[in-house]
Amino acid sequence: MIKGNPRRAIAGALALGLMVATGMGSVSVAGASSRVPPGTLLGDVPAAAPGDFTFGQSISVSGNTAIMGSTTTITLRPGVFTNGPGIAYIYEKHGQVWSPIPVATLDAPAGGQFFGSQVSISGNTALVSDPTINSDPGNAYVYVKTRAGWPTTPTVTLTTPNGVGGGVLSGHTIALIAGTPGQGNINIYSEATDGWSTTPTAVIPSLNSQFFTSRLTLSGSTLTFGSEDISTGDKTVNVYTESRTGWPMTPSAVLPDPAGVPYSCFGNALGVSGKTLVVGSPTGCSADGVTYIYTEGKTGWPTAPSATLQNPSRVPVSHGGELTGGFGGVVAVSGKTVVISDANATGTSGASYIYRKGDAGFWPTVPTATLADPQATKGDRFGFTLAMSGTTLFVDAGGADVNQPVPTMGGTVYLFQS
């Protein structure tokens, strides 16, 4: 596991686990001592360093490279804090081993408080967003790895005059929300042979009377985001598919909430990989946490899900349960594997559930395997963030080490490999 803030030596070790998906749903986690002893000191703690607030708040992984974002807090006086500049860390896998020491530490170029709250990586390119909470000009920063390694200053800065709501990267394409919080256009940027353009190659206009309810997700030629109708509260997921002529100005498909419940959480979490789209509708907005899987067909994306996954750990209210689960609040998908977390499971210790598509082409409605909080500690919120690429899965326990004197709050990231 990577604990706390590796830059300030409150990092622990990398817990390399063997994720074994079997018919019984068993999971075996190997000890960290075979790689790096737990609690390995990674450097000196600067005397005036601000405490890390949420290490692993945002994670993205692509092949042998991962990026993890961390927003920070500065103690003004006992019990009084303010937001500090965000940080992002890049990690690499060499051979069969992920190093617990970041190969690059990216500081907020403009001291942005939300720098690192959304990160994305694809191949040798990383994107770190610094979302704004108002209409002030905002930035998203592109870092391109060279033969000398990862740069610590941005290769390209994407700036919008009326705010940035976070961006996502896939291949040679970046999609960025540009506009006031909740609403705005989607700017598409493309990488050419001479590098990334700072001028959008396409601008997808905002939907009338709707606002964004999720982050953008992008995989190849498929872009998705959740939205809510301001007047009715109806939730939908909007899918845009790039064609040979470019990106469409209107959705290629609009997926309605199968439950038909206004002001639900449908679309609050999204994941897309190839022809598979995962839509989370976590507990909190409606009676039950549920996740839907959609499969793109020859005629496009269907409006009805191919699989509906119910919270495996929740006790219904009618049987004495409470609406405290978060199943579907965070999802990840890669190939034939879907991971869904419930950071509030088992007394906020948290759990993540793995679903593996069968050889017959059907998704199981019960987990193939379950990952529990390795520390089994209330408040760890294991599954606060997920990121998956191929056989590599990162799971963040956003509340871990919250009682440590430094940082003010913690965060522990676990790595599982199948």
pLDDT digits (tens, 9 = 90+) for 72-125: 766 666 666 667 788 899 999 998 888 888 999 999 998 777 888 899 999 999
Per-residue pLDDT tens digits for 190-236: 999 999 999 999 999 877 667 777 788 999 999 999 988 888 989 99
Mean pLDDT on 51-66? 82
Contact partners, residue 367, CB within 8 Å, separation at least 6: 25, 312, 353, 354, 355
Greater pLDDT, 86 or 248? 248
* Calpha distance 334→274 (Å, rounded): 8
Q: What is the pLDDT of residue 312?
A: 86
Q: What is the pLDDT of residue 296?
A: 96
* Calpha distance 184→164 (Å, rounded): 9
Mean pLDDT on 119-143? 87
Mean pLDDT lowest among 146-150, 259-263, 267-271? 259-263
What sign does the CA torsion over 418, 381, 106, 41 have? negative
Mean pLDDT lowest among 68-82, 277-291, 315-329? 315-329
* Calpha distance 347→379 (Å, rounded): 7
* Calpha distance 331→345 (Å, rounded): 15
Find out whether 213 and 200 touch, Cβ atoms under 8 Å: no
Residue owning tokens 């998906």: 21
Sheet holding 118-122, edge to edge: 118-122, 125-130, 138-144, 156-160
Mean pLDDT on 376-402? 85
Q: pLDDT category, 15, cuts 50, 70, 90?
A: very low
* Calpha distance 39→157 (Å, rounded): 36
Residue owning tokens 């050889």: 359
Alpha carbon distances (Å) from 48 to 108, 284, 378: 17, 39, 31
The dihedral region occupied by 403, where left means phi > 0, alpha psi between -120 and 50, and beta the remainder, is alpha
Find out whether 279 and 266 touch, Cβ atoms under 8 Å: yes
Find out whether 337 and 355 touch, Cβ atoms under 8 Å: yes
